[in-house]
Amino acid sequence: SDSLTVAELAKKLHREPSEIIKKLFMLGVMATINQVLDKDAIELIAGDYGVEVEEEIQIDVTDLEVYFTDDEAAELDERPAVVTIMGHVDHGKTTTLDSIRNTKVTAGEAGGITQHIGAYQVEENGKKITFLDTPGHAAFTTMRARGAKITDITILVVAADDGVMPQTIEAINHAKAAEVPIIVAVNKMDKESANPDRVMQELTEYGLIPEAWGGDTIFVPISAIKGEGIDNLLEMILLVSEVEEYKANPNRNAVGTVIEAQLDKGRGSVATLLVQNGTLKVGDPIVVGNTFGRVRAMVNDLGRRVKHAEPSTPVEITGLNDVPQAGDRFVVLSDEKSARQIGESRAQQALQAQRSEKTKISLDNLFEHM
Ligand code: GTP
Ligand code: MG
C-alpha cells in the first residue's frame, strides 16, 4: 500500500511507535501514533533503519486504470478516430463542428441536426469519425489532469483573417503535451481579408510546418460558414487515421471515459460516455468514477435508443446511483455485486482522501522542517 500510520510502520519495522515518533520529531515533524505517512516518508524512515521498502505487486481492483488492459493484436479491430476541435476565441470552432454535422447528418434522420449529446459521429467514405464537442481547453485540461487520454487528433482552427493568437498557442501546447497530432483548419477563407500564408508563416514558429514547405503538418483551408473544405478536412482526418491505425477490441467488457454528466429531473443521473475499448451494452454492471449501477438505457448522438456501443462511440446512459465527473473513467464488470462493491469503496476512499489530505505528512513536509 502507499500509506501507513506511524503505528503500522513501527510494527513492520519491529520498533516501538514512540521511536518512530521521536525520529519524526528529529526531522522537525510532530506526529501522533495514528498519523498517516505517505510512500516517500515511509521509505525515508525505513531507509534510516536500513530497510528497503519492497514494492508490493498487487492488483487494486478499486483502481479503474487496471481494467484498461492491452489486448492481443489478433483481437483488435479498426475503430473510428476521436477528434476534438481547439483554437482561439471566435476563430470558428463551433461553426466548424456545426458545419461538419450539418453536411454529414442527413436531415431525414431522427433528431436531424439537433444534437443530443456532447459528441457525435459522421461518416466519410464509409468510415466513421467521432467528434467531441467539448469546450476545448477546459475539458482537455481536466481530462489530462486526470490522466485520461481520449483524443486521437486535434483540429486547430485558426481564422485566416486573424492569425495565430494566444489561445492558438495554448491549444498547440496542450496537444503537444498530450502527444496528439494536429491538423490545422485555416478558417474564414471566404473573407476578403483572409491571409492563409500568414497563418502558415506564423505557425512555423511553433513547429507546425506545412508539407509544401518541407514539414509534415496538414493544413486545410475551409470556410466553416459556407461549408467549404469540410469534406477535405474529413478526408485528411481519415488519412491520419490510416497512418496511426486506431484499434480496439470490440469483444470485451467496455472501458472508457466520462465526457459530461448531470442530474436530470426525470431520468436521474445522466452521463455521456466515450467507449474507448470493448462494447458497452444495455444491462451491463458498471462503475463510473465513484458511482456505480447498471446501464438502464443508452441513447446515441442522434437521440436514438441503442442496445450496444462499440469502441469510439459516444453514448448517453442512465442507471447510475450518483453523478460522476467529466474525465472520470468507467469500467464494465461481469456482475452487479462487484460493481456495487467497487463503486462503494471508491466513494468511501474519495471521502477518506478528502479527510486525510489535511493530516497527511508527506516528504515535502519533512524537508520543509529540516
Ligand atoms: P468561441 O466558442 O466563443 O471561442 O468561438 P468559436 O471559435 O466557437 O467561433 P464561432 O464558431 O462561434 O464563430 C465566431 C464568429 O465567426 C461567428 O460570428 C461566426 O459566424 C463567424 N465565422 C465562423 N466561421 C466563419 C467562416 O468560415 N467565415 C466567416 N466569414 N465567418 C465565420
Ligand atoms: Mg464556440
Per-residue pLDDT tens digits for 201-210: 999 999 999 9
- C-alpha distance from residue 220 to each of 158, 183, 294 (Å): 10, 8, 43
Does the Cβ of 95 fall within 6 Å of ligand 1? yes
Query: β-strands 119-124, 255-264: how paired?
Result: unpaired
Does the Cβ of 225 fall within 6 Å of ligand 1? yes
Does the Cβ of 92 fall within 6 Å of ligand 1? yes
Atom of ligand 1 nearest to the CA of 99: 24
| 190-233 confidence digits (pLDDT tens) | 999 999 999 999 999 999 999 999 999 999 999 999 999 999 99
Which amino acid, one-letter code, is at 227?
G
Atom of ligand 1 nearest to the CA of 97: 11
Given this model, what pLDDT does residue 54 score? 74
Atom of ligand 1 nearest to the CA of 228: 27
- The residue whose grid cell reads 486521437 is 152
CA dist 181 and 151 (Å) reads 9
- What is the DSSP secondary-structure string of 211-232? GGGT--BEEEE-BTTTTBTHHH
Looking at the DSSP bridge assignments, the partners of residue 264 are 268
* 120 touches 101 (CB < 8 A): yes
Does the Cβ of 187 fall within 6 Å of ligand 1? yes
CA dist 200 and 213 (Å) reads 10
In the chain, % of residues over pLDDT 70? 88
**What pTM was computed for the model?**
0.79
CA dist 1 and 12 (Å) reads 13
CA of 70 to the centre of ligand 1 (A): 40
Reported confidence tier of residue 243, pLDDT bands at 50, 70, 90: very high
CA of 291 to the centre of ligand 2 (A): 31
Of the listed ligands, the closest to the CA of 221 is 1
CA of 342 to the centre of ligand 2 (A): 38
CA dist 5 and 17 (Å) reads 10
91 annotated among ligand-binding-site residues: yes
Q: Is 347 helix (H, G, I), strand (E, B) or coil?
A: helix
116 annotated among ligand-binding-site residues: no
CA of 28 to the centre of ligand 2 (A): 52
Say yes or no: ipTM exceeds 0.90. yes
Q: Could you count the other beta carbons within 10 Å of the beta carbon of residue 283?
A: 12
Of the listed ligands, the closest to the CA of 96 is 1
- Among the listed residues 136, 187, 140, the one whose alpha carbon sits nearest the alpha carbon of residue 163: 187
- Among the listed residues 60, 9, 111, the one whose alpha carbon sits nearest the alpha carbon of residue 345: 60
CA of 277 to the centre of ligand 2 (A): 29
pLDDT of residue 114 exceeding 70, the answer is: no
Q: Is 350 helix (H, G, I), strand (E, B) or coil?
A: helix
Residue 362 contacts by C-beta under 8 Å, 6 or more apart in sequence? 38, 40, 41
- Among the listed residues 127, 133, 98, 93, the one whose alpha carbon sits nearest the alpha carbon of residue 113: 98
- Cα 310 to its chain centre, rounded Å, is 17
CA dist 62 and 60 (Å) reads 5
Does the Cβ of 90 fall within 6 Å of ligand 1? yes
C-alpha cell at 313: 462511440
Atom of ligand 1 nearest to the CA of 191: 30
**Ranges of H-type helices in the chain:** 6-13, 17-26, 39-48, 93-104, 136-145, 166-177, 196-204, 230-244, 336-356, 363-369
Reported confidence tier of residue 61, pLDDT bands at 50, 70, 90: confident
Given this model, what pLDDT does residue 355 score? 84
Does the Cβ of 88 fall within 6 Å of ligand 1? no
- The residue whose grid cell reads 468507467 is 330
Do you know the residue count of the chain?
Answer: 370
φ, ψ dihedrals at 247, nearest 5°: -135, 155
88 annotated among ligand-binding-site residues: yes
